Amino acid sequence: SAAIGAALIGEWFEGATVVWLFALGNTLQNRSIERTRESIRSLINLTPSEATVKYGDQLIRKPVEEVGVNDIIVIKPGEKVPLDGEVLTGTSSINQAPITGESLPVDKQQGDTVYAGTVNESGSIEVKVTKLVEDTTIAKIIHLVEEAQEKKAPTQAFVDRFARVYTPIVFTLALLTMVVPPLFGFGSWGEWAYKGLALLVVACPCALVISTPVAIVSAIGNAARNGVLIKGGTFLEKAGAIQAIAFDKTGTLTEGKPKVAEVISLQNNREELIGITRTIEEHSTHPIAQAITSYAVERNIGTKQGEDFKAIAGKGAQATINGIVYFAGNPKLFKEMEVPLHDIAERIDTLQRHGNTLVVVGTRTEVLGLIAVADTIRDITVQSIQKLKKIGMNEMVMLTGDNDGTAKKIAAETGVDRYFSELLPEDKVTAVKKLQAEGKRVAMVGDGINDAPALATADLGIAMGGAGTDTAMETADIVLMADNLEKLPHTIRLSRRAMNIIKQNVWFSLLTKLAALALIFPGFLTLWMAVLSDTGAALIVILNSMRLLRQK
């Protein structure tokens, strides 16, 4: 409209310049937005287009679209995994960084899951396909990221509402500027028509409208490349404003796989004690029983001839070996059988206070010894908590079902500031509400399966290990694809920076508009300068947003 107006009032050169500048501005804007879109496309290009399928003794190359579930594919060293599946034969280490963001390769053997788009580094493996090409983890990530980019953040929604009201007002003002002064004899029609056109160009809210979406798309793209799914601008904004983070202990701060920490034999015969315990525990699927079994297997301590295996609900298990009934269970079991524990009462007390779960082993009349089992803390967790503290996260809270002594010990080792202990799953929700009642914006980090209610209650739900669980991908607002917290500090930093950049963009857009408007009426601002200020502001806003793509 500015160009047509310029032609009507005889300013042909101005009109041509306006058209040229607009075209240039649009080309540059499209180029830069294309760059942000590419960050997502690079995810799509991660997966190979063909797979080597095994039929009997033959190996046939097929497009991934034609490979079905339960087909067997062969992946050689150096090749990318074409589809999600389960390893049948072979061992290898696989670089999962493209999906999970994990910095170190992960060892895979029979029964382990491999994901499309990851790189097979060392051995040759045969994999049974578990998902069709459109259902793979990476396909889900791409779909979620694309959806996330469509969803509007609160700031963006506000800016759009603002533009809807603002544009008609400006249009009316420009018309009045063209008509009113010359009607009342202030200057010529041509002069005021020119000023009105300049006002129309300057007031166009291009930079303002583009200020938020480009920043959000850039940040979401950067996060996706690092194995973090942010499901929309809203959650990016929320992550930038979080003041406290609550962690579920098991599987998040700790491995969730207990290990034997100490073996105390009262008859100076460790191997015998471990052998008896292994015999009793081998039939149990309880994590503590499995920890003891694998401890015995690592030390080549075999099982004995046992019979009459029984589980004692909530207390332990028993088996008969060489005609004697042996028990392995918690101290409560032996107290109930009135077996004297006074020899080891002090040891039991100390070990329990230090966060161990105890398995006492003995007969109906005497105690042979005890095995202490503890959950191991993840090193990456401790590093991540330190990094979060460095970037100014002022409250880290641990939620756990453990007793107070264990919770205190783990809190000290992981470096969290507070803990809530002895929680049942539904109490986690109450704990999150308590933090919110203190006036804090709370993020909850969990593994997405039993933590779903707490994730939903928190201001921001962050699930870990998204590559392994579909539930996590669905219930959380932000998904860490790796099964660790390594990328959490990056996500929080990125979100905060995105919020700062959005603020810079909005203020910059508004201030350039005001400055240009002030210069129109004295006549300092020509039409082509008006176009330049509008296009220039939009470009600067885009380039400023694109810094988010490069954040390491």
Question: In the block, which residue shows the tokens 């039939």?
Answer: 283
- Answer yes or no: 248 catalytic: yes
> What residues form DSSP beta bridges with 73?
53, 127
Long-range (24+ apart) CB contacts under 8 A made by 309-314 are 309/280, 309/283, 311/283, 311/284
Beta strands in 134-241 (DSSP E): 228-230
Q: In sequence order, which residues have a C-beta less than 8 Å from that of residue 66 and are 6 or more positions away?
A: none
232 vs 230: CA distance, rounded Å: 6
Q: Is 115 helix (H, G, I), strand (E, B) or coil?
A: coil
Question: In the block, which residue shows the tokens 């999600």?
Answer: 84
Q: Is 446 helix (H, G, I), strand (E, B) or coil?
A: strand
> Which of 111, 152, 101, 117 has the alpha carbon at shortest distance from 479?
101
Q: How far is CA 395 from CA 347, 370, 443, in A?
A: 34, 38, 11
Angle at 326 between CA 325 and CA 330, to 5 degrees: 135
Here the tokens at position 166 are: 């603002």
Catalytic residue among 71, 112, 248, 349: 248
> What residues form DSSP beta bridges with 464?
480
91 vs 195: CA distance, rounded Å: 74
Sheet holding 92-95, edge to edge: 106-108, 92-95, 119-120
Number of H helices, E strands in the chain: 20, 22
Residues annotated as catalytic (active site), given as ranges = 248
